[in-house]
Amino acid sequence: MELSILELFLNASIVVKSVIILLLLASIISWMVIFERWLYINKVSQEFLAFESRFWSDSGLEALLAESQEEGHQTIGAEYLFQIGFLDYKRLKNENIDSETIMSSVQRNMRAALSKEQTLLEKHLPFLATVASVSPYIGLFGTVWGIMNSFRGLAGSSQATLSAVAPGISEALIATAIGLFAAIPALIAYNKFISESDSLVSSMEGFKEEFSAVLHRDIQTK
């Protein structure tokens, strides 16, 4: 008689059931993280391209700063680096501090801002890495436990037939299957998001250097 996956789950031992429930919860949370990270990283990428285009236009630094400080405007990515750097630059320049000290302070603050942006980009990614690496082993534990129980039950049986042990083994193998189901999407998403995050950080690092050069030229001409 064929058993459905639900019937196999209901007939499984409490340990195997616990493993399956844990893996299903990990999978659900992973998909929530994947969706949230996909939205956020795409938003940062689009905002970076849009801001870079405005930055190299003829709108001027003051206009860009005013735009970034508008009420309700969310400042992220390169725009956040620009805002932090330019505000520090204006403050120090009004205090008649030498250019080397000004640029050193501006670059230090922009490095701190870049580090903050990198942390935001990589938020929750360690969870995906953990699910990807641990889920198969948790599933394997459930499988080994289930098979062990099946053979223990077989030892007390008068007839050792395949039909007697097959349901127990099937129940146990579900844990491994669900472990892989949780791990594979998490691993793919983690690699994708880490690659995109590194690329964005590299682009923002390049913007930081270009903006520093613009400020350095500005302070030398005044």
Tell me the per-residue pLDDT of 23-57, one tens digit each, with 9 for 90 and over. Answer: 999 999 999 999 999 999 999 999 999 998 888 88
pLDDT for res 25: 95
- Report d(CA 50, CA 59) in Å as an integer: 13
Sorted by where each begins, the domain ranges of the chain are 5-220
Written as six digits, the tokens of 112 are 């701190």
The pLDDT, as a whole number, for residue 58 is: 74
What average pLDDT does this structure show over 144-168?
65
Contacts of 180 (CB under 8 A, 6+ apart): 135, 136, 139
Contact 42, 199 (CB under 8 A): no
Of 32-36, 125-129, 137-141, 191-195, the poorest mean pLDDT is in 137-141
2 pLDDT more than 50:
no
Question: DSSP for 201-222?
Answer: HHHHHHHHHHHHHHHHHHHHT-
Q: Which carries the bigger pLDDT value, residue 26 or residue 73?
A: 26
Q: For residues 202, 205, 211 and 215, what is the CA-based torsion angle, rounded to 10 degrees?
A: -160
Over range 110-134, report the average pLDDT: 94
| Token pair in block for residue 65 | 């700063």
Q: Residue 129 corresponds to which tokens in the numbers above?
A: 């890495």
DSSP code at position 109: H
Closest to 85 in 3D by CA, of 205, 220, 222, 181: 205
- Tell me the mean pLDDT in the region 167-178: 76
Is 197 within 8 Å of 122 (Cβ atoms)?
yes
pLDDT greater at residue 54 or residue 159: 54
Amino acid at the residue 150: S
Rounded to a whole number of angstroms, the distance between the first and last alpha carbons of the chain is: 88
Q: Which of 209, 198, 211 is nearest to 41 (CA)?
A: 198
Q: What percent of the chain has pLDDT over 90?
A: 45
Q: Is the pLDDT of residue 159 over 90?
A: no
Q: Which two tokens stand for residue 114?
A: 């870049």
Rounded to 10 degrees, the C-alpha dihedral 28/34/39/44 comes to 150
Helices 99-121, 14-55: inter-axial angle, 10-degree rounding: 140
Residues near 52 by Cβ (< 8 Å), separated by ≥ 6? Answer: 78, 207
Query: What are 97-119's pLDDT values in tens digits?
Result: 788 888 899 999 999 999 999 99
Cα 136 to Cα 69: distance, rounded to the nearest angstrom: 48
